Structure 1
Amino acid sequence: MNAPTEYYEHGTAAERWARAQLFFDAREYATAARILEPLAGEAPEQLAARLLLARAYYHSAQLTRAERELRAVLERWPVEDYARLMLGRTLERMGRPDEARPHLRMAAAMAGEFPE
């Protein structure tokens, strides 16, 4: 869907958040990301918007952007295990398994999953 930029920026933050979630649920990940980008910039303290943006980037194969967003999330929330897991998966998908491994191990440990 190629709507004008104004479409993504129109409405309250809550309306744009709801619109982004609808596009994400419809697997229109790139569109969801375009809506979420300004939201994340307006309210960088909102973890949910930042994580959904990272997921939208990941699912739309914008892996460099996903990595950048996840690293920013982890800088602000270093104990966010889901962001740590997503960063590991993103790095794996980018063909960087050695960089991914410590993030995946840490995410598992933070979630209480220990190897036997």
Structure 2
Amino acid sequence: MYQTSPATHVISYRAAERLLDAGDPRGAVKLLDGVVEAHPENTAARLLRARAFFLGAQLRRAEHEFSVVLEREPDNAYAHFALARTLQRAARGDEALRHFRLAAALDPKPDYLAAARFGQHD
């Protein structure tokens, strides 16, 4: 087993971003597992890993990671929106709507507002 350094983790994180952009979420997860294991407090790495899980259709794992991010950063609008999309994809619409609305309340981006369906009857 070899020793890793903080620089190695930064390189792994950046490479994982590129893998996600290239459509390889499983490859990204493999790189991010080591980063998160070494730095479990690193919210950015957890958020990127959550995205990779989502894109790889590992919805339970994505939900867990987005939830960990939101425990640490309850005002993270993107994490609420991404968790909502994960829940929506898992056919849990009521739970998803709650997080869509939280995302829109925290950051009124057009995508967030449209998903929140404010003013519409459920």
| Superposed pair shares fold, TM > 0.5 | yes
Give how far 1:57 is off.
Answer: 0.4
Matched, 1:112 2:112: no
- Say which is worse superposed, 25-34 or 42-51, in terms of deviation: 42-51
Partner Cα separation in structure 1 for residue 78 and residue 37 of structure 2: 21
Matched, 1:103 2:102: no
Corresponding residue for residue 78 of structure 1: 74
Letter in structure 1 aligned against 2:87: L
Q: Structure 2: give runs of 5+ residues left out of the alignment.
A: none
Give how far 1:24 is off.
Answer: 1.1
Matched, 1:53 2:32: no
TM-score (norm. length: structure 1)? 0.84
Give how far 1:88 is off.
Answer: 0.6
RMSD: 2.1
Corresponding residue for residue 8 of structure 2: 12
Corresponding residue for residue 39 of structure 1: 35
Corresponding residue for residue 3 of structure 1: none
Q: What stretches of structure 1 move > 3 A for 4+ residues in a row?
A: 113-116
1:12 alignment partner, SS class: helix
Q: Structure 1: give runs of 5+ residues left out of the alignment.
A: 1-5
- Say which is worse superposed, 70-79 or 104-113, in terms of deviation: 104-113
Matched, 1:67 2:63: yes
Partner Cα separation in structure 1 for residue 28 and residue 108 of structure 2: 31
